[in-house]
Structure 1
């Protein structure tokens, strides 16, 4: 099925970009590389420290395909005027969920009750724990006014990874359990893991509950390419990807490492509509700045807790 030794692009491996967000990333994509080789499709991968750098490498032709998260996917669409090509996603990337979790006894029984409360979020580049949750609040009736009344505590952990390490979400749950904040946003994935591991709602900890799913479901990761990718490489990659099957033990081992439940799914764009809305005012430039900074934001106050123990003091809202 591949180009083979005499194919039109013999010797030219498909170069895939991935972000190194954990120690397991190399093992996952080495397994994928070996699978692709087994079906005569030359594939190699390059690991990046951030999504922004990977997107730049894709735009400038240094890689053929990028394994993008939702923020990077939409930024690429905007950079290319919608001309970038999507090639597929995992089944677990469809209808991703985030939860608004609250502390029992905090007096929060509705979204409107967040007014005047302390709300914890993940890093400013986390789709599931910052960008889309705040977009959802702002889009609700009276949402812009509500945002102006909330005191946000943001955990800027592992910036550049777009929340993939979930370090910010872990801090959100820690702060909730310790009573430092009243509510917080976490993905369903991390919330479920924390409950299963009894890392939340343990003895002596504040009891936490999911208030409501105020964040509509959205799509997460997707393979993206530039429109200049050759049809040969595109077809070789797609055919090999969708030929993977949970019914083949060697395939199943790699697919499960990547979090797939049953199969790879085809590309779709509908699940990114709210991310497009959230980034509507963001400049379509390389390495765009945060949507909110300590000197200009949408809240009653913003406290930023970053890596290396750096803590910014509270800054009152500077933009009205």
Structure 2
């Protein structure tokens, strides 16, 4: 009996150790709004930094689509996700309010979308009637929801007034679709557009922005509300400590296309939720 007790105790200790070890991995993901290789490249130095600050192994877990990022967090398969404003709202609704946005880039307080075209006859949103058009992902804030809401405000219903509407799946794919003549125009987030322009991946003699939206709240890093408060604080503090004055901070911020990270809260995304409801996109 004594031997059995010892074996049981040893097995219990091993299982406990395995459980503790499993908890030491922070599973992080991001909505796939760019090519997978680009997302991995952008995350690598941030992951190393978060390992230093939390003492945990940080693992980037790619997802196939926007919906998978929401389900992964809600179903405890992911611990932290880089959401757009709309996917955060979806996760909030899907979880019954049990997710918390921690930080956002300063740029995300007044984020914008751009409408692009190669067609010289298109100069304003109303000119898109009868044209072919590309959004990004259906769950994208800056690649679908907000562009759609501004189109509707301009009395252009994409599903009725346009010849054809396509979903490219990602911002860079939208640029490729418009540049390649697959569609007459498209919408994407301003950050990816500016990056592609700066990298000379856009022929600005042909492809141009003809409308830029007003600002709105967008991306953030979100966790579940059941995350250990101490870990949540470590992660938040790590993001807030990033600055351009040291080499590591500068590399991370530049890859994230951020000047700095600032705290955020769920209430900031109320207008996104309202826009999604009005557009009939919140299920």
Name the TM-score class by shorter chain: 0.7 to 0.9
1:248 is displaced (CA, Å) by 1.9
Contact in 1 for aligned 2:178/2:184 (Cα 8 Å): no
1:90 is displaced (CA, Å) by 2.1
Aligned to 2:81: 66
Q: How many Å separate the matches in 2 of 1:241 and 1:201?
A: 35
Aligned to 1:17: 28
Contact in 2 for aligned 1:88/1:223 (Cα 8 Å): yes
Aligned to 1:189: 191
Contact in 1 for aligned 2:100/2:266 (Cα 8 Å): no
1:219 is displaced (CA, Å) by 2.9
Contact in 1 for aligned 2:54/2:235 (Cα 8 Å): no
1:274 is displaced (CA, Å) by 4.6
1:193 is displaced (CA, Å) by 4.2
**Structure 2 residue ranges without an equivalent (≥5):** 1-18
Among 210, 229, 237, the alignment partner of 2:227 is 229
Q: How many Å separate the matches in 2 of 1:35 and 1:252?
A: 12
- Per-residue deviation, residues 180-234 of structure 1 (Å, max 9, x unmatched): 64433233234434544163244xxxx4443332x33233321112222221221
Aligned to 1:211: 210
TM superposition outliers: structure 1 runs of 4+ over 6 Å: none
Aligned to 1:310: none
1:171 is the counterpart of 2:170:
no
Q: How many Å separate the matches in 1 of 2:119 and 2:60?
A: 45
3-state secondary structure, aligned to 2:218: coil
1:139 is the counterpart of 2:117:
no
**Number of paired residues?**
257
Aligned to 1:277: 274
Contact in 1 for aligned 2:118/2:178 (Cα 8 Å): no
Q: How many Å separate the matches in 1 of 2:177 and 2:214?
A: 23
Among 107, 110, 116, the alignment partner of 2:124 is 110
**Structure 1 residue ranges without an equivalent (≥5):** 1-8, 158-162, 285-320
Instruction: Give the 3 Å change call, closer, same or farther, for CA 264–195 of structure 1 in structure 2.
Output: closer
1:151 is displaced (CA, Å) by 1.5
Instruction: Give the 3 Å change call, closer, same or farther, for CA 191–173 of structure 1 in structure 2.
Output: farther
RMSD: 3.1
Contact in 1 for aligned 2:29/2:78 (Cα 8 Å): no
